[in-house]
Structure 1
Amino acid sequence: MYNIKAAAKILDMPKVTIRSWETRYNAITPARTESGHRLYSDQNLEDLKWLKIQVQENGMKISEAVKQLHTSRKQFYHPDPSDSEGTPVEYAKQIEELYQAAVEIDIDRFNYLLDLKFSLFHHQTVFFSIIAPLMVRIGAEWESGQISVAHEHMITNIIQQRFNQFFRIFPVAPHLPKVLALTPSGEHHQLGLLLFSLFLRENGFHVVYTGPDTPLEGLAEMAAKQDFKLVCMSVMTPKSRPVAEQYIKELSEAIPGLQFLLGGQGINCDDEYINRYCIGYTLESWKEWLEEYKAALPS
């Protein structure tokens, strides 16, 4: 956390501007000390930096920039490529630019365009409204045979590197439980899991991401040694459901009290279990779960 003097120095912004954007335009909401002094988080600084770029470099009015920032918080991702809501119309141009660079295997341009998007838009907008629909499109073409496995893996690897970069930015809150994020053996769809893992990390959770097709062998021993309290698992196909159930069974037996958070089209939320939760696809549903989860944590 940073006081306003430190924040102003890091951002190279006058303190009066920071206060004005906060109080007049509700751009951010910093924490307060007991004596009432402002304390700015890394997320606050990132938001202010993004707003500064929009105003100074892109000529946007601060009111419009703040509106776009707040709108980006509400953008959501749905993994069904037939769902038109997964590809917001306002970002169709950005998605198409990246898609063409990906199809042509122009990696330098692809990375340049990613850099450009992150400089122009809030990172949540880029991940949810540009990268997510892009990867759904590429994944669909891979499954139909229009893009090779090697081609799809190359693009996926570049995107995952971007996720990893943001993983390192956000600080970890030591009082929050440690999280293991994975897809079970045979399950290769990881986009939703990456997005949710980033959401958790942005909210202070220490997330260890083992990724797609994680084998069960040795997993319980590793989870016990690392003292994980929550396992996030993505199950995108019904055929992966019994495999996921086996993971839950073995991990629960090895680590009493371990909880599971399940997402994806292959999960079954009909039955109620004390150690598992089903989560939806929207940012709002994630925030609702997070609020309930934090409220249930021991004080």
Structure 2
Amino acid sequence: MYNIKAAAKILDMPKVTIRSWETRYNAITPARTESGHRLYSDQNLEDLKWLKIQVQENGMKISEAVKKLHSSRKQFYHPEVTDSQEPIEYAKQIEELYQAAVEIDIDRFNYLLDLKFSLFHHQTVFFHIIAPLMVRIGAEWENGQISVAHEHMITNIIQQRFNQFFRVFPVAPHLPKVLALSPSGEHHQLGLLLFSLFLRENGFHVVYTGPDTPLEGLAEMVAKQDFKLVCMSVMTPKSRPVAEQYIKELSDTIPGLHFLLGGQGIDCDDEKINRYCIGTTLESWQQWLDEFKTAQIS
């Protein structure tokens, strides 16, 4: 948490502007000390930085920028991340990126990504633009319209964007270290990337090994790095036995290890003491987080 002096220095903004955007436009709601002094979270700073870009670089009125920020935040907490239907509001942005991807115009694709992140909150870009874009590209690959190499190239660019944001958010030392992976043979990673981003925004130290992570040597790495949670994405039923093998070997080797399981291949009715089904919606993710925090407190 930062006091207003530190926040102003980090953002290179006058303190009076921060107070004005907070009190007059309800842009953010900082915490308060017992004596009433403002304390700004990393999310508050991220929001203020985004608003500053809209006003100073894009010529938007602060009232309009705040309205767009609040709108994107509201939508962020209500999407179904596995839904392939493209949001109408962002259809133009998705189509622009899709055309650049299909034409393998990498410079334009990266330019458009930069533009989207400057115009919209990063949560909106990842969940409402990039997610449906990648679902569409994946469908084109499965239909034979896009080659494997082509799809991998676009996926790599998108993963680099996730990695950039993974490094932005600070880690809370009291939270357990998380390993995020998909088991051997499982190549889908969009949901895993989105959930990893969700965890990072909430202060978890997440190490992302991604799709098709081999079991060999995994237990040694988990023990050596002191991971407490393993987040595993299983998108197809045929991958479920493989995931169970991972859970058994890791549990036998590292007592007390817990697992977060997500994806369409997971049976959420088969929860056990050391595992939790996180579902595919942000609501279910937030529910797990709230329950986790409650358990930690108690």
1:173/1:205 contact within 8 Å kept: yes
Residues 1:70 and 1:82: Cα distance change in structure 2 (over 3 Å): closer
Q: For residues 271 and 283 of structure 2, what CA distance do their matches in structure 1 show?
A: 22
Q: Which residue does 2:203 correspond to in 1?
A: 204
Q: For residues 187 and 27 of structure 2, what CA distance do their matches in structure 1 show?
A: 38
2:191/2:233 contact within 8 Å kept: yes
Partner-residue secondary structure (3-state), 1:74 = helix
Q: For residues 213 and 77 of structure 2, what CA distance do their matches in structure 1 show?
A: 24
2:231/2:260 contact within 8 Å kept: yes
TM-score (norm 1): 0.93
Residues 1:77 and 1:266: Cα distance change in structure 2 (over 3 Å): farther
Partner-residue secondary structure (3-state), 2:268 = coil
Which string of whole-angstrom CA distances, capped at 9 and with x for unpartnered residues, describes residues 41-73 of structure 1?
Answer: 222111011112223443444333223222323
Residues 1:290 and 1:125: Cα distance change in structure 2 (over 3 Å): same
Residues 1:92 and 1:112: Cα distance change in structure 2 (over 3 Å): same
Residues 1:74 and 1:284: Cα distance change in structure 2 (over 3 Å): farther
Shift of 1:100: 0.6
Shift of 1:10: 2.8
* Superposed CA RMSD: 2.1
Shift of 1:83: 4.2
Residues 1:84 and 1:132: Cα distance change in structure 2 (over 3 Å): closer
Please, which runs of 5 or more residues in structure 1 have no aligned partner?
none
1:79/1:136 contact within 8 Å kept: no
Which string of whole-angstrom CA distances, capped at 9 and with x for unpartnered residues, describes residues 71-123 of structure 1?
Answer: 323435999999464xx111111111111111111111111111111111100
TM-score (norm 2): 0.93
Shift of 1:38: 1.6
Q: For residues 241 and 206 of structure 2, what CA distance do their matches in structure 1 show?
A: 25
Q: For residues 9 and 79 of structure 1, what CA distance do their matches in structure 2 show?
A: 35
Count of aligned residue pairs for this structure pair: 297
Partner-residue secondary structure (3-state), 2:76 = coil
1:77/1:281 contact within 8 Å kept: no
Q: For residues 6 and 79 of structure 1, what CA distance do their matches in structure 2 show?
A: 34
Which string of whole-angstrom CA distances, capped at 9 and with x for unpartnered residues, describes residues 105-146 of structure 1?
Answer: 111111111111111110000000000000000011111111
Q: Which runs of 4+ in 1 moved over 6 A?
A: 77-82
Larger mean Cα displacement after TM superposition, 57-66 or 184-193:
57-66
Please, which runs of 5 or more residues in structure 2 have no aligned partner?
none
Residues 1:286 and 1:64: Cα distance change in structure 2 (over 3 Å): farther
Larger mean Cα displacement after TM superposition, 175-184 or 18-27:
18-27
Residues 1:269 and 1:284: Cα distance change in structure 2 (over 3 Å): closer
Shift of 1:17: 2.2
1:99/1:134 contact within 8 Å kept: yes
Shift of 1:295: 1.3
1:76/1:281 contact within 8 Å kept: no
Q: For residues 254 and 278 of structure 1, what CA distance do their matches in structure 2 show?
A: 22
Q: For residues 95 and 139 of structure 2, what CA distance do their matches in structure 1 show?
A: 15
